[in-house]
Amino acid sequence: MRILSGIQPSGALHLGNYFGMMRPAIELQSQGEAFYFIADWHSMTSLTDPALRRRYTLDVALDFLACGLDPVRTVFFRQSDVPEVAELTWMLSTVTPMGLLERCHSYKDKVAKGLSFNHGLFAYPVLMAADILIYDSNLVPVGRDQKQHVEVTRDIAIKFNELYGPTFVLPEPQIREEVAVVPGTDGQKMSKSYGNTIEIFGEEKVLRKKVMSIVMDSRTPQEPKPDADKNLAIQLLKLVAPADVAADFEARLRAGGLGYGDLKKALFEHYWNYFAPARQRRAELAANLDYVHQVLREGAARARAVAGQVLARARRQAGLD
């Protein structure tokens, strides 16, 4: 089984990225042949600073390796190091109905907010389809916000297979229900574009402040809270604390007597400890960047070997050979 997923280097990675995609992806490494990549081409639809892109790309590499990606077992690479993907994107775009892309949330959201958008953002799901199809991927672990894109990928693959004969494997999204949408400090989906993120790594003081800024209501500590399971800090605590500890805090909040400040302090401590081993590994990796660059170079070579074969198949089927 081939497992594939990608992540954009468009800012520091946060708990939504980690619990929604990175942790499931890391766990899946033992279940098949995993291909994980840094989607630097995708980041061009929103980020136009070359120095920042370089920095964020390296940051994603450090973050993923620190969190447990095993570069021996898993093929880990940078999207733009596999130019075959760009050629396949063109081929797929010629079988992609406009209506399919016009229905995509990523593009519709920008339009609804009156934001300007470029053709790259509109065509983004076609590039994503090429990312997935070029490695004959079976399973794509993602957060819920990417589900539609995997469905579009299937539609495009089906269309190509109908027109040119069997060419592409149809992928399945894998979405873990309990972390499909990790909430941010304001209760909306945690997202860089909403400014509500808690990063995986960063300065303790800054991150403590972010955790303490999680929005709560104005009920007094003494009041019982029958909706304790909906509390944002409790939801995040369930991700980073042992189950019995999180259950105990939830019970105390429900009964009344636990103040929000104390709850958030406990959340911070558990969150900080949860990532302590990864923080240590990240510091070691950051002191050995040659190794990190080498991992990406070797990953790219392994990825290209597969991409070249699938692209040759697609060319043959389409009469381009």
Q: Which residues bind ligand TYM (CB under 6 A)?
A: 4-8, 16-17, 20-21, 39, 42, 128, 131-132, 140, 142-143, 145-146, 179, 181-182, 189-191
* b/e sequence 105-132, b meaning 16+ C-beta within 10 Å: ebbeebeeeeeebeeebbbbbbbbbbbb
Active site residues: 110, 189, 192
Least Cβ distance, residue 67 to ligand TYM (angstroms): 13
Least Cβ distance, residue 44 to ligand TYM (angstroms): 12
- Name the β-bridge partners of 141: 174
CA angle 170, 174, 177 (to 5 degrees): 150
Residue nearest to ligand TYM (CB): 20
Least Cβ distance, residue 20 to ligand TYM (angstroms): 2
Q: Which is nearer to ligand TYM, 225 or 231 (CB)?
A: 231
Least Cβ distance, residue 316 to ligand TYM (angstroms): 24
Least Cβ distance, residue 12 to ligand TYM (angstroms): 12
Task: State the alpha helices, DSSP H only, in the chain.
Answer: 15-17, 23-28, 40-43, 50-66, 84-93, 98-102, 105-112, 119-133, 147-164, 204-212, 232-240, 243-255, 260-274, 276-286, 289-318
**One-letter amino acid for residue 130 of the chain:** A
Q: Which is nearer to ligand TYM, 225 or 304 (CB)?
A: 304
Q: Is 114 left (phi over 0), alpha (psi -120 to 50) or beta?
A: left
- Could you tell me if 78 and 300 are in contact, meaning their C-beta atoms sit under 8 angstroms apart? yes
CA 86 to chain centre: 21
Q: Which is nearer to ligand TYM, 6 or 71 (CB)?
A: 6
Q: Which is nearer to ligand TYM, 142 or 311 (CB)?
A: 142
Q: Which is nearer to ligand TYM, 62 or 258 (CB)?
A: 62
